[in-house]
């Protein structure tokens, strides 16, 4: 059950038909572990973690062995894929935007796993996506 402060904090999310009150309760009861493989993915990890925390998810660290390691709701493991940022070497000006996109994408996919109506999708080719968007803005 959501507390009054949680109801106020997540009021906008509760109003979304895709989330609703029961969905927000499920999000708040869920634990998500976000893992990054290396320093290159650190920015994407930080962005995904921040978005998930703002949504109300309880974040855990892989293998932290905390005092209470029992599931409280849905347990979701999010791994920042090593292939997400591959191929951006020839477009270094897009690297920061690609890391931001990758973090946001992974956060949304984690929430889709928590919500009952959500279906996970595969990450689009980040390089092609970012290059296309950059060309559209020129």
Residue 71's pLDDT is: 44
Instruction: Give the pLDDT of residue 118.
Output: 61
Nearest to 42 by CA among 34, 31, 33: 34
Domain ranges of the chain: 30-130
pLDDT tens by residue, 25-71: 999 998 888 876 666 677 888 888 899 999 999 887 664 444 344 44
- Alpha-carbon Rg for the chain, nearest whole angstrom, is 16
What percentage of residues in the chain have a pLDDT greater than 70?
Answer: 60
Query: What does pTM read for this prediction?
Result: 0.71
pLDDT of residue 91: 66
Picking from 68, 75, 95, the residue whose alpha carbon sits closest to that of residue 84 is: 95
Least Cα distance to 114 among 81, 72, 83, 79 occurs for 72
DSSP state at residue 74: -
Cβ proximity of 91 and 131 under 8 Å: yes
pLDDT value at 90 more than 70: no
């Amino acid at each position: 059950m959501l507390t009054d402060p949680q109801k106020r904090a997540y009021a906008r999310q509760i109003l979304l038909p895709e989330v609703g009150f029961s969905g927000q309760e499920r999000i708040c009861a869920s634990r998500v572990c976000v893992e990054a493989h290396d320093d290159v993915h650190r920015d994407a990890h930080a962005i995904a973690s921040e978005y998930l925390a703002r949504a109300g998810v309880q974040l855990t660290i892989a293998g932290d062995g905390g005092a209470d390691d029992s599931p409280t709701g849905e347990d979701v493991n999010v791994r920042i894929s090593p292939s997400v940022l591959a191929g951006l070497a020839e477009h270094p000006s897009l690297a920061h935007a690609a890391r931001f996109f990758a973090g946001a994408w992974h956060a949304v996919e984690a929430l889709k796993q928590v919500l009952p109506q959500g279906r996970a999708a595969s990450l689009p080719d980040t390089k092609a996506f970012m290059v296309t968007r950059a060309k559209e803005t020129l």
